[in-house]
Structure 1
């Protein structure tokens, strides 16, 4: 058997609600692993139930890292997460544990595995001004202004994606160089070997699972969880408020939407997100192993690889 220090970094990914966390946890228990979060929303500390973070009982079964570590106001870019995840990988390996990345943020995983071009950080006041401009000008005008300096990046972004438009504008303001030009620079590859496991569920099964999971969340306290955040009067620009269901629950608290409509719309948005994830995985990722999460062979196949990597 190879040691954790010699073993590859395991990546367990797939669409939301496909069973990634359960597989990663079972593998961590059996192989002495540390589960490292690779889901953007699960890095935030205010919605542990709504973002389906591991429970206290699950975290007691094996070490977990990068879950609930940031306040809602902070931005966790792919580059920042790469730095954080790299530190946790090295920490796990130093402790003789197997690093197991678990999550569905495909861009983050690609950034970690393939590298990222070095893009300078902008001063906080530039980001604040860019966010203020987005509100004052409106998305269309902001997008048009950005297109004058970086038409390539505008062509890649969805019109309503505030966070990425703001990021592109602040990079232009800070450096005088388009974000798209920075992204074309030389990327630094990760120093580890990876074993990528992709869960590809049946569509009907996943749709039903997403609905069932949201109902469990409702019963488990997401209304009170979201209300506690809402009552703090958070800035709508905070990145952590994008968690599926949070905007709908906030509208419910303002009297604009019934709880039944919250449930329906949140489930629909989550299903759409899962579909986008699968499209991304098909076009952007070449996994080593692919499993239907309903099948039983995933864990045994991964362990067989770890025990006989050259077989």
Structure 2
């Protein structure tokens, strides 16, 4: 018997409402929600990453959330290997997989496979990062355009992180990053599947208000205590979990180096900046995805395509 492989992908910036959309879609389709956020894999970061609550998990099955310790440096490859197993189980049960998160590389690796790029020498990495800091993203985009105009056309001029990555790979290997993507080490796990791709993208002022309000809610729900417990583990600062937004800012307060209000404002600002970077990725990498401005509209798009109606007695996410 042929197994039906259906997946609904829901991306978007932090605080956009995509998790609420996933719960609504799971209720409408009987699907299983799968994490596609690099920080929500950590069990030590329930509050600061807005991981689904026990109430959320009671409304729909969730997978790949809070299953790694903070001492683990979870890579895209590790997550992708775990995703393969989870999707196999979901599809074998005849269910729809609903991948939701804000990590663009996770989505790309699931759709296109994961490229095996050789280790880049530290001096090359530092060279281009220093030039980014000194000259800015647009200037480096111009450099990349002169070296490889085809490769440069893949990136937004303001996407400094990805432009630097392209330049360092090109210098170190003599090949464009796209060459390695074509030679992807992992076969794309979603290749051949029935995939629906949606981005929840609120207006900027709406998103920023949600970000500010959500961090206030996090503080009321124990974000400070969570940061204190994580920092008490004495883990290396370069681990991914230690770089979660809010950890460093609240650590400054706990260390007596700033006020709680200053720490809170710093965390909100860092979250807004992160949302900007996520939206840059969306513009550059997800142009062919369906764009909606609310979770409610994301649910409607899925239900319209599936020919289902979302029950009037159910609560729609805002």
**How far apart, CA to CA, are the structure 2 residues paired with 1:29 and 1:60?**
11
Corresponding residue for 2:299? 299
What number of residue pairs does the alignment pair up?
274
Match of residue 186, structure 1, among 172, 183, 186: 183
**How far apart, CA to CA, are the structure 1 residues paired with 2:100 and 2:288?**
14
Asked if 1:46 corresponds to 2:47, the answer is no
SS in 2 for 1:11: strand
**How far apart, CA to CA, are the structure 1 residues paired with 2:200 and 2:216?**
23
- Aligned partners of 1:49 and 1:222 also within 8 Å: yes
Asked if 1:24 corresponds to 2:22, the answer is yes
**How far apart, CA to CA, are the structure 2 residues paired with 1:80 and 1:230?**
24
Corresponding residue for 2:234? 233
Sort the Cα spacing of 1:142 and 1:280 in 2 relative to 1 into closer, same or farther, 3 A. closer
Sort the Cα spacing of 1:93 and 1:179 in 2 relative to 1 into closer, same or farther, 3 A. same
- Aligned partners of 1:5 and 1:98 also within 8 Å: no
Shift of 1:77: 2.0
**How far apart, CA to CA, are the structure 2 residues paired with 1:103 and 1:259?**
29
- Aligned partners of 2:200 and 2:291 also within 8 Å: yes
Shift of 1:282: 0.9
SS in 2 for 1:194: strand
Sort the Cα spacing of 1:37 and 1:49 in 2 relative to 1 into closer, same or farther, 3 A. same
Corresponding residue for 1:78? 76
Sort the Cα spacing of 1:307 and 1:217 in 2 relative to 1 into closer, same or farther, 3 A. same
Sort the Cα spacing of 1:301 and 1:251 in 2 relative to 1 into closer, same or farther, 3 A. same
Sort the Cα spacing of 1:239 and 1:212 in 2 relative to 1 into closer, same or farther, 3 A. same
**Coordinate RMSD, CA, aligned:** 3.4
- Deviating runs (4+, > 4 A) in structure 1? 144-147, 155-159, 176-182
**How far apart, CA to CA, are the structure 1 residues paired with 2:197 and 2:233?**
40
SS in 2 for 1:195: strand
Corresponding residue for 1:137? none
- Aligned partners of 1:10 and 1:195 also within 8 Å: yes
Structure 1: gaps (5+ residues) = 123-129, 135-139
1:2-27 Cα deviation digits (max 9, x unpaired): xx953631001111000000010111
**How far apart, CA to CA, are the structure 2 residues paired with 1:179 and 1:283?**
17
Normalising by structure 1, what TM-score? 0.77
**How far apart, CA to CA, are the structure 2 residues paired with 1:180 and 1:233?**
36
SS in 2 for 1:304: helix
Shift of 1:145: 11
Sort the Cα spacing of 1:145 and 1:178 in 2 relative to 1 into closer, same or farther, 3 A. farther
Sort the Cα spacing of 1:12 and 1:142 in 2 relative to 1 into closer, same or farther, 3 A. closer
SS in 2 for 1:100: strand
**How far apart, CA to CA, are the structure 1 residues paired with 2:288 and 2:116?**
26
Corresponding residue for 2:261? 260
The residue correspondences of 1:140-219 to structure 2 (distance < 5 A) are: 143-144=126-127, 158=161, 183-184=180-181, 186-187=183-184, 188-189=187-188, 190-191=190-191, 192-219=193-220
Shift of 1:290: 1.6
Shift of 1:300: 2.5
Deviates more, 1:201-210 or 1:88-97: 88-97
Shift of 1:114: 1.4
Asked if 1:248 corresponds to 2:249, the answer is yes
1:215-252 Cα deviation digits (max 9, x unpaired): 00000001111111112222112211111111111111
Asked if 1:280 corresponds to 2:281, the answer is yes
Normalising by structure 2, what TM-score? 0.76
